[in-house]
Structure 1
């Protein structure tokens, strides 16, 4: 015969067995649901990355046609003025720019690479504007290998020509300052034109909105800003974004 203790233990096991089974099934159900949720989140993250990449490429394409159109316009003006030597030089420079552009097919590049674009563009414009154009760079050597987006500084420089130097006569002064402050890159592109508020917030403002969106895609968790400032001595565009070396970005 079973003792009272053994009988009580059997009764307890019999009573608890269904509960243990139910808890086990509940645990497996919750675990399975958790796995499904993680898989769903993984797919959503992958989809979000694809959408961001597509959006970035779309925004990037909005910039490039304007740049090439304006550059070709500069070359066309040389042809109309029959400035053959300068025309040949400008075509050679454009060829170098195009070669560099299509060898660099990335969503981000270094500041040094971006400045290569800018120098090609300014070389063409110097041929066109001759002694009227004056430009200078002040570059912190610590930022040359920092990450930026293609046609970033180029857009600011191009805006100075499109909205200022091409509209108004007189000396054209352009200054670009690139420096590291704390853990941020600060870029200032200044020109000596005195534009009205309406001009600053028109078509030019749309181009800067594009730049801001592209910066947010590359640096989603960092502090980014783009500002237009109109002062007594000219117009400035000031951009701020996180300081990230190209080697760090590629390792992410």
Structure 2
């Protein structure tokens, strides 16, 4: 028979050991959550840095003298021809484009908003290129609210003008196709140039590498892809990334 002192020690041992184990598990759980939070913050900081780089390049390269001055010359031509309706629309569109570019500071936006900006840009280019330019935009309704990194589609469109349409005479054809395949968004930007038109980091543009890095930072655990291909009838760039609705992204971040 155990003495009362030994029995008391035994009871305390039986009570304290499970409590110690529970506290240890709780500590490990909190520590793991803290590590996950730090990793998430690290990715967000890196993504923010890449976005700022993209914004800097956009503001200093894409809205550069060759585009801006050509646009102003087109607007001036409309004024000289007294085409007031087109003149007013062109000025309004340029104002909206600049406002969108300078106010886009988020890491992600919806595809719908991205295409709003792209349409401003294309409307201005239509004023410049007139009947030479033809473009089509196909958007799957299932992905209009999906998230995308800012200026992804816009960069690919601007590359087509800078490295294809502005260098070669003749008809300028552009097609933008955005669809959902299984659980991924597929973006295709095609133009009828037979020469590859990637903007490289060396020439000051945003480039495909910046897009690849930002997609990987936004979706670190998922497969993403950006590929430039030379086709028989032109040049195409394909971007693939997970299908995530904007509201779901915001809710997910608020719960972490």
Same fold, TM exceeding 0.5?
Answer: yes
2:68 corresponds to which of 68, 72, 84: 72
For residue 29 of structure 1, report the CA deviation from its aligned partner: 9.7
For residue 221 of structure 1, report the CA deviation from its aligned partner: 2.1
Corresponding residue number in structure 2 for 1:179: 179
CA contact 2:159–2:198 (8 Å) conserved in 1 = no
TM-score by length of 1: 0.78
Change (3 A) 1:239 1:9: same
Return the alpha-carbon distance in structure 2 between the equivalents of residues 248 and 24 of structure 1.
Answer: 39
Return the alpha-carbon distance in structure 2 between the equivalents of residues 250 and 87 of structure 1.
Answer: 40
- Give structure 2 stretches of 5+ with no counterpart: 80-85
Return the alpha-carbon distance in structure 2 between the equivalents of residues 14 and 248 of structure 1.
Answer: 54
For residue 84 of structure 1, report the CA deviation from its aligned partner: 3.5
User: What does 1:168-247 correspond to in 2, within 5 Å?
Assistant: 168-195=168-195, 200=198, 202-203=200-201, 207-247=207-247
CA contact 1:107–1:150 (8 Å) conserved in 2 = yes
For residue 148 of structure 1, report the CA deviation from its aligned partner: 1.3
Within the alignment, does 1:51 sit opposite 2:84 as a pair? no
Question: Does the residue aligned with 1:134 lie in a helix, a strand or coil?
Answer: strand
Q: Which has the larger radius of gyration?
A: 1
For residue 36 of structure 1, report the CA deviation from its aligned partner: 8.1
- Give structure 1 stretches of 5+ with no counterpart: none
Return the alpha-carbon distance in structure 1 between the equivalents of residues 55 and 156 of structure 2.
Answer: 16
For residue 201 of structure 1, report the CA deviation from its aligned partner: 7.6
Change (3 A) 1:84 1:45: same
Return the alpha-carbon distance in structure 1 between the equivalents of residues 10 and 95 of structure 2.
Answer: 82
Question: Does the residue aligned with 2:186 lie in a helix, a strand or coil?
Answer: strand
CA RMSD of aligned residues (A): 3.4
Q: In the comparison of the two structures, how many residue pairs are matched?
A: 242
